[in-house]
Amino acid sequence: MNQRQQQPNHYWNASLYDSRIGFVSEYGKSVVEMLDVQAGETVLDIGCGTGDLCRELSDRGARTHGIDYSEEMIATARDKYPDLSFEAADAHAYPARLRFDAVFSNAALHWMTRPAEVIRSVSGALKPGGRFVAEFGGKHNVGGIVAALSEALRGFGVDAAARNPWYFPSVGEYASLLEAAGFRVEYALHFSRPTPLADGERGLEHWLDMFAAGFFDGLTERDKRAAYAETNRLAKSVLFRDGQWIADYWRLRVLAFRPPGADEER
């Protein structure tokens, strides 16, 4: 089994995530609006990170349960929100003990490189007629950043394509997977969302530390810093404007429903 078929071996820095990558939860609030949760509904949050959107959903009256592959992120979520329910789990094979009214996910599914398995987990966690609302990286996501780091790493003998941990599908590709699993896809949108990174000149460095560290595995600290600097140089003319890095994000947003008679058909 190759690296891309496995759960990404990615170390999540919960402190950096909360202090420098706050845009993830902030943009996720619009996905919460799309979910339109009703008081008393049960919601499973896949890839809940440090729990901010579980808190948002709970404040709107939902009973939430958040799961994340990273034990560090879950530990931080439990510390921040001790009144909420969290669990370290792999969404590729999540044995839901309860059925939920809705499954929600923000900025997480592109880390899960076996999407059909994740969709099976979503289906198994939903009540018949339940809804699935998600946003994650779509086709072309961070293409400019990846092109720059790929060229930079070539100088250090690293094949970046072989280390790419992400799954960025098109609308057609992902909708087809949902339909093959029996979902009714009501809405699917692929859109560009240029995303400002915090901390001025250091913004891209923080992004690389948080999301792309695996590309630089095996480099000495000196070579890693040199590769970062070269990535910055190559990307700057395209992605740095008015003193700020702008990540070239493309997002895929979906709303799908598990058929009301799904259990009876099995």
CATH number at residue 49: 3.40.50.150
**Within a domain: 202:** no
- Whether the pLDDT of residue 176 is over 50: the answer is yes
Q: Is the pTM of this model over 0.85?
A: yes
CA 122, CA 133: separation in Å to the nearest integer? Answer: 10
Q: CA–CA separation, 187 vs 253, rounded Å?
A: 8
Percent of the chain with pLDDT over 70: 88
pLDDT tens per residue, range 205-233: 999 998 999 999 999 999 999 999 999 99
Of 21 and 74, more confident: 74
Higher pLDDT, 224 or 4: 224
Domain containing 172: what range? 3-142+166-197+246-261
Report the C-alpha gap between 219 and 233 in whole angstroms: 19
- Per-residue pLDDT at 210: 86
47's tokens: 């890839």
Q: Judge whether residue 199 has pLDDT over 70.
A: yes
Q: What would the mean pLDDT of 51-79 be, rounded to a whole number?
A: 95
User: Residue 225 domain-assigned?
Assistant: no
Residue 237 within any structural domain of the chain? no
pLDDT of residue 153: 98
**Whether 37 contacts 59, CB under 8 Å:** no
**How many domains, in total, are found in the chain?**
1
Sign of torsion over alpha carbons 216, 222, 227, 233: positive
Residue 193 lies in a domain: yes
Q: Is residue 239 part of a domain?
A: no
Amino acid found at 188 = A
Q: What is the largest CA-CA distance in the chain?
A: 60
* pLDDT tens figures, 240-259: 999 999 999 999 999 999 98
Residue 19: predicted pLDDT: 47
91 assigned to some structural domain: yes
Q: Which residue, 149, 73, 71, 78, is CA-closest to 107?
A: 73
Looking at the domain assignment, is residue 40 inside a domain? yes
105-153 pLDDT, tens digit per residue, is 999 999 999 999 999 999 999 999 999 999 999 999 999 999 999 999 9
Enter the tokens of residue 162: 């072989």
Task: Please report whether residue 110 resides in a domain.
Answer: yes
3-state secondary structure of 118: helix
